[in-house]
Amino acid sequence: MPIKNYTTQIKAGKTAMEIQDILRCGRARSVLMEYDQEGVLCSLSFTVETPRGAIAFRLPASIDNTLAVLRRQRVPSRLQTREQAARVAWRIIKDWVAAQLALVETEMVSLDQVFLPYALVNGQETVYDRLAEGGLKLLTEGKVQ
Does residue 52 fall inside a structural domain? yes
Does residue 70 fall inside a structural domain? yes
Residue 144 one-letter amino acid? V
pLDDT of residue 139: 63
Q: Look up residue 2 and give its DSSP letter.
A: P
pLDDT of residue 135: 66
Q: Which domain holds residue 81?
A: 12-141
**Residues 69, 97: contact at Cβ < 8 Å?**
no
**Residues 80, 7: contact at Cβ < 8 Å?**
no
Sequential pLDDT tens for the chain (145 residues) = 789 999 999 999 999 999 999 999 989 999 999 999 999 999 999 999 988 899 999 999 999 999 999 999 989 999 999 999 999 999 999 999 999 999 999 999 999 899 999 999 988 899 998 888 876 666 666 565 5
Does residue 5 fall inside a structural domain? no
Q: Cα dist. 55→3, 139, 143 in Å? A: 31, 22, 29
Residue 54 one-letter amino acid? A
pLDDT of residue 28: 93
Degrees (nearest 5) of the Cα angle 50, 56, 60? 135
pLDDT of residue 138: 61
Identify the CA nearest to 57 among candidates 96, 6, 14: 96
pLDDT of residue 130: 87
Q: At residue 71, what are phi and psi to the nearest 5 degrees?
A: -70, -45
Does residue 126 fall inside a structural domain? yes
Does residue 1 fall inside a structural domain? no
Does residue 2 fall inside a structural domain? no
Into how many domains does the chain fold? 1
DSSP per-residue letters across 7-65:
T----HHHHHHHHHHHHHHTTEEEEEEEE-TTS-EEEEEEEEEETTEEEEEEEE--HHH
Residue 52 one-letter amino acid? R
